[in-house]
Structure 1
Amino acid sequence: MTINDDDGSGLSSAEIEHFIDQGFVRLDSAFPRTTADAARAILWRDTGCDPDDPTTWIHPVVRLGMYSDKPFVEAANTPRLHRAFDQLVGEGRWLPCGAMGTFPVRFPSPEDTGDTGWHVDVSFGWDDPDFMNWRANVSSKGRALLLLFLFSDVGPDDAPTRLLPESHRDIARSLAEAGDAGLTLRELVEVIEDLQPRPQAMATGPAGTVYLCHPFLVHAAQPNRGTTPRFMAQPPLLPRSEQQLLRNEGACSAVERATRLALGLFD
């Protein structure tokens, strides 16, 4: 579902219900195109490639590090996004983004990049040197939302992130069975492999679009079959505290409601 919020009214009740049911919602014009352009200029510089010379685009993926330059921080902290964060996570329950995170810049290429498997973003246990042992739990320790920021126009052929609607419910149930310790990424991949097939959604849109996703949403990269590079960031929205699944129903955030519904927790 696409949000058009020119009057500044925020998410409608139908859009919030779509997030709860499907696990994501698309926010158009979440940050200005001019901000995306300024950020992309910095990213182009750091790729070492010439935007006007495709012969310099010799790698299918170029991974760039954390960015806290002004355009990136501005993109992550617009009033429009803050309103949406309040509505999905709850006022006072999230931390403003101080950096945009890493960028997997995907260039047009027929190569298999080897990083396109379905997964859930894990959010704690970083001290383990084996990233497959990093973890997630049913309280979503360390992550309030998964965010997909589009810094370039992304069409169906431009390596849009693939989303698996309703998968946040399956993951919530598996994590609940594992208790506070949660599951490792390796264990979560096994859970995902057992999911029933379902239609996919694609994170397409013009530069300035942001997809707001439940932290348990299953998603995956794909190769760029188009003609222009795709610039996208996937930072977490950090929580001030973990999800509280036993709150009174009226105090639950949309993220908590989605998890509660998956677990059959009702007042």
Structure 2
Amino acid sequence: MKEVLNSIQIKQFIEEGFVRIDNAFSAELAAEIRHILWNDMDADPGDPATWTKPVIRLGMYSQPPFIQSANTPVLHAAFDQLVGKDKWLPCRSMGTFPVRFPSTEEPGDTGWHVDVSFGDNTTNFLEWRANWHSKNRGLLMLFLYSDIGEEDAPTRIRTGSHLDIARLLKPHGEQGLSLLEMAAQFPSLPEREEKTATGKAGTVYLCHPFLIHAAQPHRGKEPRFLAQPPLLLRKELMRDPEDLSPVEQAIQLGISS
């Protein structure tokens, strides 16, 4: 297996909950994807007067350029290193796209949260749950399809918060906690440093599935294009204590500290 992450990056992922990969896919591919997304919006890339909403949510995307961006050799090698070889499923859809526009209007979706991964109610995502071995989800991924600076609504990350969530979830076993139940516990968790997911188009942040993160208003000049697909699991995590991947090592670190 080709290793694309060094020992320092692996250690950062375990302790801080994320690692950044530059040039994970090409800028040309990012431009092609933005073109597809612009065509699906009632907005003109050359006319800011048509950018009338702070955020527009677009549906599921599985066209070839999207799938190519999520399945580069660099990313597959990183998935093997972080989750474990043969434990994950190739990404076949990029999920919902929240395209954010420069605006003084609050977008209304900037609360801190953990991405949940299982549930029965397909109409109420707030009832979905996460459990201590991260059922169904190997990674949270942030794909930057446009250049994103500090003013361009970069995703906010609470470094190390994945350790707190692992410790929070463990007593609740297989059932875990719902999104709302977890959020209610956030005020009692340790204070954590906040970082932002900035970078050039083609950058990907590979994050622990328990990482607490949030959107923020766009105060820049150009629309922001980003996707947050999960890396789904082929095999359940935390089933072989003798062979723990970095994702599993971080869970173990959280529940034992």
Q: TM-score range by the shorter chain?
A: over 0.9
Judging changes above 3 Å, is the alpha-carbon distance between structure 1 residues 204 and 182 closer, same or farther for their aligned structure 2 residues?
same
Spell out structure 1 runs of 4+ moving beyond 6 A: none
Other-structure match for 2:190: 196
Q: Which residue of 2 aligns with 1:259?
A: 251
Question: TM-score, structure 2 length as denominator?
Answer: 0.97
Are 2:207 and 1:213 aligned?
Answer: yes
Instruction: Confirm or deny: 8 A CA contact 2:61 2:93 kept in the other structure.
Output: yes
Aligned with residue 53 of structure 1, among 28, 47, 52: 47
Q: What one-letter code is carried by the residue in structure 2 that aligns with 1:65? A: G
1:73 and 2:73 are equivalent in the alignment: no
Deviations 1:232-253 (Å, cap 9, x if unpaired)?
00000000122115520xx111
The structural deviation recorded for 1:194 is 2.0
Q: Cα distance, 1:70 vs. partner?
A: 1.0
Aligned AA (1:36): A
SS at match of 2:40: helix
Matched-pair identity in %: 57
Matching residue of 1:92:
86
- Quick check: 2:150–2:196 contact (8 Å CA) kept in 1? yes
TM-fit CA distance, 1:61: 0.3
Given the superposition, is the C-alpha separation of residues 68 and 129 from structure 1 closer, same or farther in structure 2, using an over 3 Å criterion? closer
**Structure 1 CA distance for aligned equivalents of residues 122 and 33 of structure 2:** 32
> Deviation digits for residues 79-129 of structure 1, max 9, x if unmatched?
000000000000000000011111100000011111000000000004354
Asked whether 1:82 is paired with 2:76, we answer yes
Looking at structure 2, the residues matched to 93 and 10 of structure 1 have their Cα atoms a distance apart, in angstroms, of 18
Quote how far apart the aligned CAs of 1:130 are: 2.8
TM-score normalised by structure 1 residue count: 0.93
**Uncovered stretches (5+) of structure 2, i.e. residues with no partner:** none
Deviation at 1:264, TM superposition (A): 1.5
User: Over aligned residue pairs, what C-alpha RMSD do you find?
Assistant: 1.2
Q: CA deviation at 1:137?
A: 0.3
Residues in 2 aligned to 1:158 and 1:88: alpha-carbon distance in whole angstroms:
28
Contact 2:160 2:192 in 1 (8 A): no
Letter in 2 for 1:98: R
In 1, are the aligned partners of 2:3 and 2:81 still within 8 Å (CA)? no
Number of residue pairs matched? 256
Q: 1:238 aligns with which of 222, 232, 242?
A: 232
